[in-house]
Amino acid sequence: MKINVVKTSENELKIEIVGGSHGLCNLLTKRLLEDKDVDFAGYDVPHPLASSPTLYVRTKGKVKPEDALVKAVKKIREANDAFSKEFNRALKA
């Protein structure tokens, strides 16, 4: 997976996720929208055969959009770790 920065400003970020999917972008968008400092988050897949979705993030100005994205990724990792532990516990039962 490769990430290309398409546009960046003080409160906006637009990145292309080469090799990304709806699942990844939907998860990132959901976590970003949980952040009170994020004004808008969404993604677009320009063509279904080209797996390079574009993710948009706009913050309210208190936080850089890059920082909001890093925070969202950390939340996803924490949730994944918790799921993995619970899943392994369930398998042992």
Contact predicate 64/10, CB 8 Å: yes
Question: Can you give the residue ranges of every domain in the chain?
Answer: 2-92
Asked if pLDDT for residue 57 goes beyond 80, the answer is yes
The answer to pTM > 0.85 is yes
What sign has the CA pseudo-torsion 82, 87, 88, 92?
Answer: positive
What is the CATH architecture of 2-92? 2-Layer Sandwich (3.30)
Asked if pLDDT for residue 49 goes beyond 80, the answer is no
Asked if pLDDT for residue 30 goes beyond 90, the answer is yes
